[in-house]
Amino acid sequence: MDEVCIINMKKLLNKYSFLSRVLTVTAFFLLHVQYTFAQLPRNYPNPESQPLDLTLKNILLYFVSPVLLVVIFFLVRRYKRKQDEKSRNEKENH
């Protein structure tokens, strides 16, 4: 019984260790982004920032494409997991 609990705890820790790493990196970048934007070169004039024009090209480039890349990433990841699971099941059955 104790061995089963230890194995389940290891699986649980492995499952959430990736999530904890992702959250840690995300928090790091969110908290330190103000310092990276504050650094401007001294010898060059400051750029004049203007709002983004909402043309079809800009919407596709800056909004749709990142979301699409994330969705494709998760779909490919799910597909690979299913393939690995099938191969494991075939090895166990044969």
Contact by Cβ (8 Å): 1, 7: no
Which residues have CB under 8 Å from 58's CB, separation 6+? 52
Coil/strand/helix, residue 43: coil
Residues 86 and 80: their CA atoms lie apart, in Å, by: 10
Do 35 and 55 fall into the same domain?
Answer: no
What is residue 64's predicted lDDT score, i.e. its pLDDT?
A: 95
When divided into structural domains, the chain yields a total of: 2
Q: Which pTM does this prediction carry?
A: 0.47
Coil, strand or helix at 45: coil
The mean pLDDT value for 20-24 works out to 77
Q: Give the residue numbers spanning the domain of 65.
A: 51-94
Q: What is the pLDDT of residues 32-72, one digit of tens each?
A: 766 666 666 677 777 777 888 899 999 999 999 999 999 99
In a domain, 16, yes or no: yes
In a domain, 46, yes or no: no
Question: Within this chain, do residues 34 and 55 fall inside the same structural domain, yes or no?
Answer: no
